[in-house]
Chains A and B, each alone.
Chain A
């Protein structure tokens, strides 16, 4: 049985000292190991960004694709081999900006994919510009006069578009995040985890303390994640920040509704000269 160490490659992480990503990395490795997965049974699909650089030290099958595109790659992998655990990783910029359309439509489709958003409210790898989740008025290199737009709320959009598992986590609450990731990865259908991820370079200097003061655990507040309207309201809280499962429902997954996959994953079906006689009849 694999341990969390088996999900580490020989590459040394290049994230900044103190980066919130380390907490997510640890929680994810532990979650995968505790779920009994072997490294070859999972495919992780990464965006471009600080999160995506992590592709090099996550020891599963990996695909480090293009900015904003991890979801359609993940969908393709999952349709080709639905026996694999497929985890897509993005940031608030790639996931909600460049890849916004894919996010909306994967929520609709309910592909059995876990989507982890490393949300630090900035484009950090490109030196801290405003992102779709940045606060109104944020002064950054690309918005020196203050950001005019209001923030994009990933969990609320996911709820609206039909995601069947929506959660919020915190990079600094590693044990809590590990349990959350285990639930998300085990959930049959599309699961979103939007993770508060402190950026020690481009967020406020006291970002960790801010999160520490604001964050509270939904399960400790007696919250039940089965009411979409309540989830929508919870996801909109800004004074205090809820972490935990906001919403979960069971709906048939995209792959479950493809009769072509009923017998075996596509990749396990033989690649042989296909019978076309039936289709030829249409052209007679």
Chain B
């Protein structure tokens, strides 16, 4: 699978810009992507960057198609290399007919390096000087040049530029528009657009779609679901959740607290949840490691809590700006003692929105911690998607007592033993509802139990455990993509969904079972979903096949093969096709 020609009915065009950090290539790339979406095209993008603010290599890659595209393709048709490092790094992904624009002000390319590919110079600094544009806007020249080469509508591009810079004032917008114009004219005259092997056509004017990352979708989902409180400590790749929600706080009404550490982040969210508001925190694996005692506390005190864990490769600091699905086992098993938690693992931004709404309901209904588990690839990669539909959101706060109900109760038992395991709760401030939320094992009132009192301990353990039955019935079930019967059934969770769904377009006799809630699992539901499967293959962005282990642990189901990847990058559709074909 070497080039996009094999995806006959789903032509995908991929281009990549690479250069030093601080060069603005992500901004330029995103503007061009927006322009594509405004023209009715579909996009999926991804950024690669080092853990530093200036220098290094930052690359932005976007796959564009006339049909929905759910992953980044490896095969790259257009490369804009702003320095030598970017050229060397990105060249191997270029298709044989791929075209390279390179910043000749920064480096030279020897003809033999190109192996037949076409390369055109785009000396940004000099061009900016010639055009009288500040170096800051040189990156926007790229977008104009790309539009010219791809024969794309310049006006739509300029609209996207105006939108992007509107907030920065008239002068900034004008300068960037000028840069795009200049890049466009320069390419038309100097870069032989007629010989360029690809073009992008506007399908229809489209102002209904958005381009959002899974983190963005989680933020939108949180606001839409009535979340009122968020506390967190910055950590890549979760930080954009804190940034978005903080920026929106005044308008959305959420209180967003940048806490002194992750320990405080989760504790504040628990405090707010106890006090009766929908509350969340967000972090990555290392930050969650600090939150683990808090997770256990939420389990014991039965305080509803939503935790976003945006994974990056570990252990320890790991690869801070790369991707991995390495924390599923961790979040599923974290915390001392035994208690229920749910892990929701959206595969893409639209699913992240829907599952966020679901997470708040599950947390309040079952009075448990609920994870939204994403990873760098989708946490920071944008996908074009329709505006989320608020009609799909239903708010279910679970059993919260009214003042009238409390008035009728003589001695309120916050931890009343019930069949479902859920005890109706009061909210601090309600008369007659005072109780102790207690991290010590406690009786039905919340008071610590003293001495050896096995009947109370057993009743409380069993009460909390009893929730599992209801939780399992309340979780989103596995979703099958592709043909009903297949020679090979792939099974996965989270962000492998996109690359696998793209790969299915080029695979025969293969289907995919996406598991949106990889913890806990219902044996009955999994067995039903996998009935008649001939060869079960897990596909995971980690080394051991963590979900496959959970499937075995909770359901006694063994996979036949494990496709895993753990080098810091996500799967590419081409790669999935190749790996699956090898299994045939």
Contact = CB atoms under 8 A, between A and B. Distances in A.
B559 interface: no
B211 to A, nearest CB: 6
A260 B223 contact: no
Interface in A7-31: 9, 11, 14
A71 B268 CA distance: 9
B269 interface: yes
Contacts of A72: 231, 259, 263-265, 267-268, 271
Contact of A69 (B231, B248, B249, B267): B267
A283 B436 contact: no
B269 to A, nearest CB: 6
A81 B428 contact: yes
A278 B430 contact: no
Given A101-B261, A260-B255, A284 B397 contact: no
A126 interface: no
Contacts of A63: 271, 274, 301, 436-437
A1 interface: no
B39 interface: no
Interface stretch (B48-56, B170-178, B321-329, B446-454): B446-454
How big is the B interface, by class? 35 or more
A4 to B, nearest CB: 15
A79 B435 contact: no
A77 B272 contact: yes
B210 interface: yes
A102 interface: yes
Which of A48, A73, A105 gathers the greatest number of chain B CB atoms within 10 Å?
A73
Interface in B125-143: none
Contacts of A272: 226, 395
Contact of B297 (A65, A78, A271): A65
Contacts of A66: 267, 293-294, 297, 439
A65 B300 CA distance: 10
A12 B61 CA distance: 66
Contacts of B435: 61-62
Interface in B208-252: 209-212, 216, 219-220, 223-229, 231, 244, 248-252
B279 interface: yes
Interface string A54-89: 011001111111100101111111111101100000
Given A271-B395, A278-B251, A279-B223, A79 B276 contact: no
B395 A266 contact: no
B279 A76 contact: yes
Given A72-B263, A102-B260, A280-B210, A273 B428 contact: no
B503 to A, nearest CB: 27
B124 interface: no
A267 B275 contact: yes
Contacts of B294: 66, 69
A263 to B, nearest CB: 9
A276 interface: yes
Given A73-B267, A284-B163, A276 B223 contact: yes
A283 B34 CA distance: 9
Contacts of B431: 38, 40
A79 B255 contact: yes
Contacts of B390: 273, 276
Contact residues of B: prevailing secondary structure: mixed
B296 to A, nearest CB: 8
Interface string B373-407: 00000000000000110100101010000000000
A269 interface: yes
B267 A56 contact: no
Interface residues of A, number: 57
B18 to A, nearest CB: 25
A200 interface: no
Which of B223, B254, B278, B432 gathers the greatest number of chain A CB atoms within 10 Å?
B223
A149 B38 CA distance: 65
A258 to B, nearest CB: 6
A101 B387 CA distance: 42
B73 to A, nearest CB: 22
Contacts of B273: 76
A40 B249 CA distance: 29
Contacts of A77: 271-272, 274-275, 428
A274 B275 contact: no
A73 B231 CA distance: 11
A271 B224 CA distance: 10
Contacts of A76: 229, 231, 267-275, 279
Contacts of A284: 34, 38, 163, 207, 209-211
A280 B275 contact: no
Contacts of B252: 274, 279
Contacts of B250: 259-260
B260 A105 contact: yes
B297 A269 contact: no
Nearest to B251: A278
Interface of B: 34, 38, 163, 207, 209-212, 216, 219-220, 223-229, 231, 244, 248-255, 257, 259-261, 263-265, 267-279, 293-294, 297, 301, 387-388, 390, 393, 395, 397, 427-440, 446-448, 450
Considering the complex of A and B, which 4 residue pairs feature the smallest CB-CB distances, nearest first? A76-B271, A72-B267, A80-B275, A283-B210
Given A69-B263, A104-B260, 10 more contacts: A9-B447, A55-B436, A76-B275, A79-B268, A80-B255, A84-B428, A101-B263, A273-B393, A279-B219, A283-B211
24 contacts: A61-B435, A62-B435, A63-B301, A64-B437, A64-B448, A65-B270, A75-B257, A76-B269, A77-B271, A77-B272, A77-B428, A79-B272, A81-B276, A258-B255, A260-B249, A260-B255, A269-B228, A269-B253, A272-B226, A272-B395, A273-B224, A274-B223, A279-B220, A280-B220
